[in-house]
Amino acid sequence: MTTGKLLIFSAPSGAGKTTIVRHLLAQPLNLAFSVSATSRPPRPGEIDGRDYHFLSEAEFRRRIDEDAFLEWEEVYTGTFYGTLKSETERIRAAGRHVVFDVDVIGGLNIKKIYGEAALALFIQPPSVEELRNRLRARSTDSEEKIAMRIAKAEYEMSFAPQFDQVVINDRLDEALLQAETLVREFLAS
Domain count, the chain: 1
pLDDT, position 1: 43
Whether residue 181 lies inside any domain: the answer is yes
Q: What is the DSSP string of the chain?
A: -PPPPEEEEE--TTSSHHHHHHHHHTSSS-EEE-PPEESSPPPTT--BTTTBEE--HHHHHHHHHTT-EEEEEEEETTEEEEEEHHHHHHHHHTTPEEEEE--HHHHHHHHHHHGGGEEEEEEE-S-HHHHHHHHHHHT-S-HHHHHHHHHHHHHHHTTGGGSSEEEE-SSHHHHHHHHHHHHHHHHH-
Whether residue 157 lies inside any domain: the answer is yes
pLDDT, position 2: 53
Q: Which domain holds residue 83?
A: 6-188
Question: Whole-model pTM?
Answer: 0.86
pLDDT, position 134: 82
CATH number at residue 76: 3.40.50.300
**pLDDT tens, the chain, 189 aa long:** 458 999 999 998 778 899 999 999 999 999 999 999 999 999 999 999 998 999 999 999 999 999 999 999 897 899 999 999 999 998 999 999 999 988 888 899 999 999 999 999 999 999 988 888 888 888 888 899 889 889 989 999 999 999 999 999 999 999 999 999 999 999 999
Whether residue 1 lies inside any domain: the answer is no
pLDDT, position 7: 98
Whether residue 53 lies inside any domain: the answer is yes
